């Protein structure tokens, strides 16, 4: 085998979003890491994050943030995870500043914190207004000294004696194998599998399929968050409009000026799932608009939004909105050190599930989770002695499945059991024959689609996991 097809590292990190680079930045200096990504290193959801990062840094303690997280999640949480992330979250702003991130301040020098849905207090820190993800990622990515392989897809985890010991996949069209003492899946959510999504198209839930292939426990896959405000242009979705706009005074209305969330005690800042359900119901009859006229300094605070409107020749003061697939609450089950139920396999960020987000993630808790959990994972990583690369299991490709359109229709805000069942049946008993990058990527996506359909059915049938089952995965 030629050298360039076989890589050896201590820690293989799959992904280049905030969770991935936080792990890389916090690993002990004596460890080598290798980051891989399917596209370019900047094709991540973290780069797109507009809302900011939630932290109780300016409050007396993390209690109110903890309580808001539980309330938004409808209580369906692992209390230890909520406690851990919100408590550790108090120092993230100063830690990120120490790494070079600059957070927005008002003219008097105080932080310009904002509010978003279901937060009782303004505690969202921004960088460059609605460009937070991009600013953070550009600053932190520069600090990474570990190599990054772009255009590299992982299609299989390699196991030996019940332990994950590396991965195999393709760099371009070339087959590669990577021997690693630990594999960290930080490959994001599932939005790229569905239409009208805020996610990068690259993000197709590969981590879920890879983890399921080696028998790792997954949880809460039935909970997909639909963001309430996706810009509509000429009848088509044109990307995320940050919830921070509603935090700054914008409101949802119908054509005749009726306020859509007037009935709710929290108004336009109700939890995301509730706002999305209302918009979905109204849009069956008529369009829904976001009125941004109450927002002061719109162009300065929301440059991404205003520039997008200008590009599309839309007046930013009144825009039509729809809901869109945004975030997967469940994922690969881990403990608070990022360990999955399979030795040698770790997961972090959106692809992981520590039980923080319940049935509905609190706004701007995702960048927070990536940073807190990425750091915790890197600091507690337990590595075995180096081993030789095992023999690959045979790999199969997949012929065809359901279309993105069909899948989006069934994994919608309103779930219907018969349609989920039909889609699942269509994906069951698919032939897995071909090999090669395309076929193997397709197989991963079919596997993830099946997992999501099963998760949604499980949710509908009310067979929810008990709190006992939600306990963190056993330490391996
Ligand atoms: C948004 O800007 O509305 C999204 C932020 C988030 O998902 O937390």
The band of 293, judged by pLDDT with boundaries at 50, 70 and 90, is very high
Q: What per-residue confidence (pLDDT) applies to 5?
A: 81
Mutate to test the pocket of ligand 1, among 242, 252, 321 (most ligand atoms within 8 A of CB): 242
pLDDT, tens only, 180-199: 999 999 999 999 999 999 99
Count of CB atoms within 10 A of residue 240's CB? 23
Mutate to test the pocket of ligand 1, among 51, 126, 248 (most ligand atoms within 8 A of CB): 51
CA of 362 to the centre of ligand 1 (A): 9
Q: Return d(Cα 245, Cα 275) in angstroms, integer.
A: 14
Q: What per-residue confidence (pLDDT) applies to 390?
A: 52
pLDDT over 90, % of the chain: 82
466: pLDDT strictly greater than 50:
no
Q: How many residues in the chain?
A: 476
Q: What per-residue confidence (pLDDT) applies to 349?
A: 98
> Ligand 1, atom 4: nearest CA belongs to which residue?
51
- Residue spans of the domains in the chain: they are 1-223+329-396, 226-326
Q: What per-residue confidence (pLDDT) applies to 474?
A: 34
21: pLDDT strictly greater than 80:
yes
Q: What per-residue confidence (pLDDT) applies to 437?
A: 83
pLDDT, tens only, 110-126: 999 999 999 999 999 99
Strand order of the β-sheet with 236-240 is: 236-240, 224-233, 318-328, 288-291, 251-253
pLDDT, tens only, 63-119: 999 999 999 999 999 999 999 999 999 999 999 999 999 999 999 999 999 999 999
Q: What is the mean pLDDT of residues 335-343?
A: 98
Q: Return d(Cα 358, Cα 69) in angstroms, integer.
A: 9
Nearest to 272, CA basis, from 203, 224, 320 = 224
Q: What is the mean pLDDT of residues 148-152?
A: 96
What are residue 111's DSSP bridge partners?
Answer: 105
Count of CB atoms within 10 A of residue 352's CB? 29
Count of CB atoms within 10 A of residue 108's CB? 6
468: pLDDT strictly greater than 60:
no
415 class by beta-carbon count within 10 Å (0-12 exposed, 13-18 middle, 19+ buried): middle
Q: What is the mean pLDDT of residues 43-68?
A: 96
> Ligand 1, atom 8: nearest CA belongs to which residue?
364
Nearest to 447, CA basis, from 151, 226, 169, 211 = 211
3-state DSSP assignment of residue 248: coil
310 vs 120, 295, 313, 320, CA distance in Å?
33, 17, 5, 15
pLDDT, tens only, 408-419: 999 999 999 999
Please tell me the CATH code under which domain 226-326 is placed.
3.90.700.10
Atom of ligand 1 nearest to the CA of 229: 3
Nearest to 327, CA basis, from 465, 221, 253, 238 = 221
> Ligand 1, atom 5: nearest CA belongs to which residue?
51
CA of 122 to the centre of ligand 1 (A): 14
Residue predicted with more confidence, 366 or 425: 366
From the candidate CATH numbers 3.40.190.10, 3.50.50.60, 3.30.1280.10, 3.40.50.970, the one assigned to the domain spanning 1-223+329-396: 3.50.50.60
Most confident option among 1-5, 369-373, 408-412: 369-373
Q: What per-residue confidence (pLDDT) applies to 385?
A: 81
152: pLDDT strictly greater than 50:
yes
- When the pLDDT of each residue in the chain is averaged and rounded to a whole number, the result is 91
CA of 50 to the centre of ligand 1 (A): 6
CA of 12 to the centre of ligand 1 (A): 29
Q: What per-residue confidence (pLDDT) applies to 401?
A: 62
By annotation, the residues acting in catalysis are 272
Pocket of ligand 1 (CB under 6 A): 50-51, 242-244, 363-364, 366
Mutate to test the pocket of ligand 1, among 131, 240, 321 (most ligand atoms within 8 A of CB): 240
């Amino acid at each position: 085998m030629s050298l360039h097809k076989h890589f050896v590292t201590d820690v293989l990190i799959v992904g280049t979003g905030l969770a991935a680079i936080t792990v890389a930045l916090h690993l002990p200096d004596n460890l080598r890491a290798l980051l891989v990504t399917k596209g370019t290193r900047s094709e991540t959801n973290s780069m797109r994050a507009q809302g900011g990062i939630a932290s109780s840094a300016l409050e007396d303690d993390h209690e109110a943030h903890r309580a808001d997280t539980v309330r938004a999640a409808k209580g369906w949480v692992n209390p230890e995870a909520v406690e851990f992330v919100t408590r550790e979250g108090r120092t993230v702003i100063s830690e990120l500043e120490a790494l070079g991130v600059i957070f927005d301040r008002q003219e008097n020098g105080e932080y310009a914190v904002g509010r978003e849905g279901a937060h009782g207090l303004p505690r969202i820190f921004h960088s460059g207004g609605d460009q937070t993800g991009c600013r953070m990622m550009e600053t932190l990515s520069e600090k990474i000294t570990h190599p990054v392989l772009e255009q590299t897809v992982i299609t299989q985890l390699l196991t030996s004696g019940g332990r994950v010991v590396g991965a195999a996949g393709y760099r371009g069209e070339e087959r590669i194998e990577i021997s690693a003492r630990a594999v960290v899946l930080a490959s994001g959510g599932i939005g790229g599998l569905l239409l009208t999504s805020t996610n990068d198209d690259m993000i197709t839930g590969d981590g879920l399929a890879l983890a399921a292939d080696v028998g790792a426990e997954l949880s809460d896959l039935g909970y997909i968050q639909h963001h309430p405000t996706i810009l509509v242009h000429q009848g088509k979705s044109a990307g995320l409009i940050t919830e921070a706009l509603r935090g700054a005074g914008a409101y949802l209305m119908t054509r005749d000026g009726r306020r859509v969330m007037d009935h709710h005690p929290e108004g336009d800042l109700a939890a995301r799932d509730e706002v999305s359900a209302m918009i979905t119901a109204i849009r069956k009859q008529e369009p829904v608009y976001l009125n941004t006229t109450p927002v002061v300094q719109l162009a300065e605070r929301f440059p991404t939004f205003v520039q997008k409107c200008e590009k599309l020749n839309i007046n930013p003061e009144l825009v039509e909105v729809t809901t869109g697939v945004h975030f997967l609450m469940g994922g690969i089950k881990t403990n608070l050190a990022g360990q999955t139920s399979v030795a040698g396999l770790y997961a972090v960020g959106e692809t992981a599930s520590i039980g923080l987000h319940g049935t509905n993630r609190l706004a701007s808790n995702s960048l927070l989770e990536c940073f807190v959990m990425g750091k915790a994972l890197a600091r507690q990583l337990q590595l075995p002695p180096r081993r030789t690369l095992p023999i690959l299991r045979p790999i199969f490709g997949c012929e065809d499945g359901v279309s993105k359109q069909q899948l989006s229709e069934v994994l919608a805000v309103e779930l219907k059991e018969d349609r989920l069942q039909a889609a699942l049946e269509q994906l069951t008993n698919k032939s897995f024959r071909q090999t090669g990058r395309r076929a193997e990527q397709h197989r991963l996506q079919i596997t993830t689609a099946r997992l999501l359909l099963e998760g949604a059915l499980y949710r509908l049938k009310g067979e929810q996991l008990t709190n006992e089952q939600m306990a963190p995965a056993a330490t391996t």
